[in-house]
Structure 1
Amino acid sequence: MTGKDADATKPAADSAAVPASKPKRVRTGCLTCRERHLKCDEGLPNCQNCRKSSRICKRGVRLNFIDTTVQAPPVIPPTMEWNVNFQDESRDIASEYKGGLSRYGASDNRISDQPEPGLPYNLSTAVPTAPIPPHQPLPPITGILPDAYPDEQQSMMFDTQRDHQQHHHGHSHTNSTYSGSTAQEPYSNPDQAVSPSSESRDYLNTQEEVLFMQVFVEEVGLWMDSMDPHKHFSRLLPFHALGEPMLLNAFLACGARHLSLVNSKYTEDKALHYYDTATRYLLSSLQNPNRDTVICATTAVILNVYEIMCERALQRMNHIAGARALIKECGWNARSTGIGAACFWLNVGMELLSCLHFNWQVAWDPDDWGVNMDFSRETQSGQEEIWTHRIVYIVAKIANFRASIPRYQEASPRDENIRLQNRYAEWKRLKNWTDAWNENIPRTMHPMGYLYPYQTISQSAFPEVWLIKRTTIVARLFYHTAMCLLAQINPVMSSEVEEMRELQQRHSQQICGITAHVKDSRGVASVALRSLAIAAECLTNRREQEEVLRIFDKIRQETGWRVGFVNKELKEKWGWQDEAQPQQTQIPNMQNTSLFQHQSTIQPQATLQSLPVTSLPPTQSTARARPPPGILNPLLATADFSMPQHPYQAHYVAPNPIVNHNQFTYQ
């Protein structure tokens, strides 16, 4: 071999002597070495690194699925009773897309057979399985609310859910709501009354119901709970209504009605539908002797609130007498607690405001309410509602005293004088009660701040009276209203004209000052409107009169209540004959002065008590037709199921006395 040949064979010999090198990346190494960032020698069953460090050699699955051994996963063998339940949501999902539902054939469209969302469905039998028990504990709100949808898809989903919910509860829109007939005849077809569903809901799941319930809680429930420390109507009862369709529809009716009053985009069709539905539920329950009278009474009270909110309240008072009769059937009075107390005070409060407007006597004698009239000086806090109830009792007694003013004098001067002295003694008793109430109320019911008109930055003509708690505002309005009325109906006015005039002016200024500067008039609107109307009658300054009208407009904008008739009445009482060219001359200091002077020139012994309180001076006329002062309160003859003309005559069945009604008191 030559040297050249030896050099040629040398690389081949070297390459044969060097063994082939392993790949740099390990493919089947253990997971333990991979976590420690070490190169694994891939030894089995344990690699060298794990043996040296006494670690568990954990093995994984090769990505190429070659020569890989894994442990079998745990499997529970199926039993004979084991079934697979599927929930077909393909059509619901397809309906969210334009034209998606049309891809399913007509023969395959079984929307009516689909179960309610959230319920299991057995495809083997095509029959829904047992539903989830209705009384489940309320889950966390973050885990049950639906996901957000785009606007168009969300609207479609809400419409689908609402239609399905109406089918689920077995009722739909009434003919009286959408066929053009009015809802003034809710009892026109009692045979169509439906029975409330016994199922409970965890939450409201339609856009419409959520909106109307929010409006009720945040707008209507505020003034309904103005004398209730536990706030049943705005905080507690809405949750109970989830399981009571009758109660829920009454709430939704009030919310929809308020929304139609404050926003012209909403009509009253929805409100009438919920009102009619709640009324049918109520009438159907009244035919059942085993009914829950507490739910019935509460629903009737709320429906009465709906009617109060209507523009033609006197023509829509279908439930006020029924609510009173059901309250008496439940045995509720001023000594009740919980929902009974809330319904009682709301009902008598609304009636009292109507009596002050129409000069009626209160149908339910205040002496039968059971009010604790202990006027010992209050030293504890948190008793404001108790003192509010006491001033409501006093105002009711004053309303009865005013409505019972004799229209004619006795034939005998001696008999007339005796009657006059008796009425004056009663007037003094009412005046002493009112003064004692103001002297002994807790400090929290007195103003926190008081600014004279020249100190206010609002340039108001009335003082700024700052009261903190809503029930305190209501109580002070009732108190000042009582003082104004007492100044007007003093039977012996001849010797106390100046004193009564000054008393009336002072307390009228306080009423106007409270209502002019209250931050949120929605919570006290019901009382503020009537108190302000009574106080405004004696105003003589044009600037004050114009500001009162602006206050009424503000309350109307915030609450939607139709108070235009009050403006017209006040303008005529003030002598505003022509609004385009208002009279610059002012009315005499006290509006009823001409009454006193006229009577004194004819009959020196006559006093204001011989004339109706709503009478006006001879040069003025009433703003609108009102019931004559001699007409009795309509509730006197109907607010009891023992009366021959009691409410719900065609539907009422006496309750079973042994039934254990659901007394939800919410202490």
Structure 2
Amino acid sequence: MPPRTGMNKPRKPRPSRARGLRTTTGCLTCRKRRVKCDEGKPRCRQCTKSERGCVYGQSTDVTATAALSEQDTPQQSTSPAQATASVVAESPTTRKSIAGDIDPQLFVDSPELRFDLSPLTLTTSLPSPNSAPFEWYDLLAEDAINNIQKHNLGFDQMCLSRRQSPVPDEHNFDPRLQSPERETFVQEPWRSPEAIPLNDDQLSLFQHFVSSVGPILDLFDPLKQFSNAVPRLAINNVGLLRSLLAVAARHLALHSDAQQSSINVQTPGSNISESGLHSPLLEAATQYYYETLHYLSQNLLYPSYTKSSEIISTAILISTYEMFDSSGRYSDGGWERHLRGIFWIQRSQDNNGESKDGLRRGAWWTWLRQDIWVAFRESRRTLTIWRPTKRLVDLTPDELATRIVYICARCVDFAANEKHYDLSIRIDQGDKLLQALDDWYHILPPSFQPIYSLPMAESGLFAPIWIHPPSYAAAIQMFHFARIVVLINQPSLGGMHAFRQRQRFLDESVETICGIAIMHVHQGRDSPSAFANYQALYAAGLCVQTPVKQSAILQLLEKTLNVTKFPPKTLLDDLASYWRAES
């Protein structure tokens, strides 16, 4: 009998369940969930249906999927921040970071994109977009009128009253003027067609602004808008020019001896001999400040002006003037109140940290940096309610530098005196912030690494650290400032392990902050960087306990304040008082 067909035919080997049946295609999210993916681009059907982030890997290796699965189940003894760092270190190599090789695709979302908005700004009544510039000006004028007699500049307070004449007929305005993209192409009644002439003293102040004040404001801005674009706008706008001269003179007054100053502005109505001001530079600064307010009172009636780059630039310069003019206690001064007014204008213009217009974007970050310091010192929440939309993996190195400013603002919110939440909620909030900080740090490219540093054994108490460019050094300072703020305000359930881990993080932040600050002090008068260093040094001082380190930080902070001249050296007394209270 012939054999049956196929009886002795060898069977085809079955693929291993561990290899052949496991898919190596599809998005990482579906592979992590172990569901079938239709590989739709840019977003597959499963992720669209479940509203999940849809990310495709650059490798067919299943290691990425395993890493994603492990991210949700860290070991019991590992903190969330450490778990993320561990996953990052073990993932496929597609991008080099400051902490090693990482796969940016693993960062499907960034924690800071989900932070709660600030209740302070949500519960505070906000003016309408059209009235925001007027509300802001009224705050300025009210405080200026209260101080007008003290300055004795010959100003009549009626000069600060807002012009109430009707707005010119609509047919005289092009509706395109409401669009920021078109405003520079149309001649405006409030914009001079020719460059405004400057006398010798004004030219000196103008040059000081470009060389010294602009770089302070531009520390995180690679386009250097306040050093480059704002001066060009100012030569065709009287109000912006006056505010520029005001802040330049006020900054010079902080650094110069009044008796040695060669700048002595005599404007009509000024009376230096009878004025309560003791410095010609301070006299000039105050005079220009009031002239700026007078200009605003006359030109706010133009709708195109209230939407312009000139008014937001003027607002930032006025705020900077008031920052230099403040005594260090902000809750009873104009600077803190006027920051809120700038917040209203920013909202009315729809400006934020991702605005396409470089000047508006730069102005927003500059305003937030000022508000962070005031909010921190006054134990209040920051004013911003904007939330970034870009993920960490989508940011350029310069954008990563500014992202830490936003995360820092959220950390200052956490430290505010609104601590009525129960213990578990506060701990959870702190963990989320620490996770966001950790994610930011571990995705940094190598350009944020030190160019030069000394081993601790060779350098004494703190090892000098040099990071270049300065904006990246400032970003690292803000990272450690923010981490200290969270750690010293986050409750703890106790335990020796948790205590040691927290102390290790604090010690690391103190050493880095002081190392960067030491390098800047040795390099000379680096004013822009010093404005990041003094904040970080003050925070470092809050978490050191040994007299030796306290003395070293106090000396470093004093040298830094000698460069910035802001805030006043009463900040040293505040830190010393804090140590006495804690001892």
TM-score range, shorter chain: 0.5 to 0.7
Match of 2:442 in 1: 439
Q: 1:48-67: CA deviations, max 9, x gaps?
A: xxxxxxxxxxxxxxxxxxxx
Match of 1:375 in 2: 392
Q: Residue 447 of structure 1: SS of its match in structure 2?
A: coil
Match of 2:370 in 1: 350
Q: Residue 427 of structure 1: SS of its match in structure 2?
A: helix
Instruction: Tell me whether 1:223 sits opposite 2:216 in the alignment.
Output: yes
- Aligned pair partner of 1:326 in 345, 356, 365: 345
- Aligned pair partner of 1:300 in 310, 315, 323: 315
Please state how far the C-alpha of 1:497 moved relative to its aligned partner.
Answer: 1.8
Equivalenced residues, count: 385
Please state how far the C-alpha of 1:566 moved relative to its aligned partner.
Answer: 1.2
Q: Residue 453 of structure 2: SS of its match in structure 1?
A: strand
Q: TM-score, normalised by structure 2?
A: 0.61
Change (3 A) 1:403 1:175: closer
Preserved CA contact (<8 Å) 1:200 1:244: no
- Aligned pair partner of 1:279 in 293, 302, 306: 293
Deviates more, 1:530-539 or 1:492-501: 492-501
Structure ranking higher on relative contact order (CA contacts 8 Å, 6+ apart): 2
Change (3 A) 1:196 1:571: farther
- AA matched with 1:492: S
Q: Which runs of 5+ in 2 are unaligned?
A: 1-143, 165-187, 262-278
Match of 1:550 in 2: 555
Match of 1:384 in 2: 397
Change (3 A) 1:426 1:309: same
Match of 1:455 in 2: 458
Preserved CA contact (<8 Å) 2:206 2:244: yes
Work out the CA distance in 1 between the residues paired with 2:431 and 2:190.
55
Change (3 A) 1:186 1:543: farther
Q: Residue 255 of structure 1: SS of its match in structure 2?
A: helix
- AA matched with 2:293: T
- Aligned pair partner of 2:324 in 296, 309, 312: 309
Match of 2:240 in 1: 247
- AA matched with 2:387: W
Preserved CA contact (<8 Å) 2:530 2:563: no
Deviates more, 1:273-282 or 1:537-546: 537-546
- AA matched with 1:346: T
Match of 2:305 in 1: 291
Preserved CA contact (<8 Å) 1:225 1:234: yes
Work out the CA distance in 2 between the residues paired with 1:421 and 1:475.
30
Please state how far the C-alpha of 1:492 moved relative to its aligned partner.
Answer: 2.4
Change (3 A) 1:371 1:226: farther
Work out the CA distance in 2 between the residues paired with 1:388 and 1:350.
16
Q: Which runs of 5+ in 1 are unaligned?
A: 1-173, 410-418, 576-615, 620-667
Q: TM-score, normalised by structure 1?
A: 0.53
Match of 1:190 in 2: 160
Q: Larger radius of gyration, structure 1 or 2?
A: 1
Work out the CA distance in 2 between the residues paired with 1:525 and 1:283.
35
Preserved CA contact (<8 Å) 1:186 1:279: no
Instruction: Name the structure where helix makes up a greater proportion of residues.
Output: 2
Q: Residue 380 of structure 2: SS of its match in structure 1?
A: coil
Please state how far the C-alpha of 1:269 moved relative to its aligned partner.
Answer: 0.4
Change (3 A) 1:566 1:441: same
Match of 1:60 in 2: none
Q: 1:607-650: CA deviations, max 9, x gaps?
A: xxxxxxxxx54x6xxxxxxxxxxxxxxxxxxxxxxxxxxxxxxx
Q: 1:498-647 residue pairs with structure 2 within 5 A?
A: 498-518=500-520, 519=523, 520-575=525-580, 616-617=581-582
Match of 2:44 in 1: none
Change (3 A) 1:205 1:297: closer
Change (3 A) 1:303 1:359: same
Work out the CA distance in 2 between the residues paired with 1:237 and 1:552.
31
Q: 1:349-372: CA deviations, max 9, x gaps?
A: 21112112222111223xx33342
Please state how far the C-alpha of 1:260 moved relative to its aligned partner.
Answer: 0.7
Measured on the aligned residues, the alpha-carbon RMSD in Å equals 3.0
Please state how far the C-alpha of 1:180 moved relative to its aligned partner.
Answer: 5.4
Change (3 A) 1:205 1:421: closer
Work out the CA distance in 1 between the residues paired with 2:508 and 2:416.
24
Please state how far the C-alpha of 1:290 moved relative to its aligned partner.
Answer: 4.2
Percent of residue pairs identical: 20
Work out the CA distance in 1 between the residues paired with 2:353 and 2:191.
32
Q: 1:277-297: CA deviations, max 9, x gaps?
A: 111112322233343522212
Work out the CA distance in 1 between the residues paired with 2:555 and 2:156.
37
- AA matched with 2:384: W
Change (3 A) 1:561 1:421: closer
Change (3 A) 1:342 1:513: same
Change (3 A) 1:246 1:442: same
- AA matched with 2:487: A
Q: 1:539-565: CA deviations, max 9, x gaps?
A: 234343333233233233323224311
Work out the CA distance in 2 between the residues paired with 1:450 and 1:462.
10
Q: Residue 305 of structure 2: SS of its match in structure 1?
A: coil
Preserved CA contact (<8 Å) 1:186 1:276: no
Change (3 A) 1:177 1:482: closer
Change (3 A) 1:424 1:220: same
Please state how far the C-alpha of 1:433 moved relative to its aligned partner.
Answer: 1.2
- AA matched with 1:369: R
Work out the CA distance in 1 between the residues paired with 2:544 and 2:506.
10
Q: 1:200-247: CA deviations, max 9, x gaps?
A: 444754111111112212221112001111001012211221101111
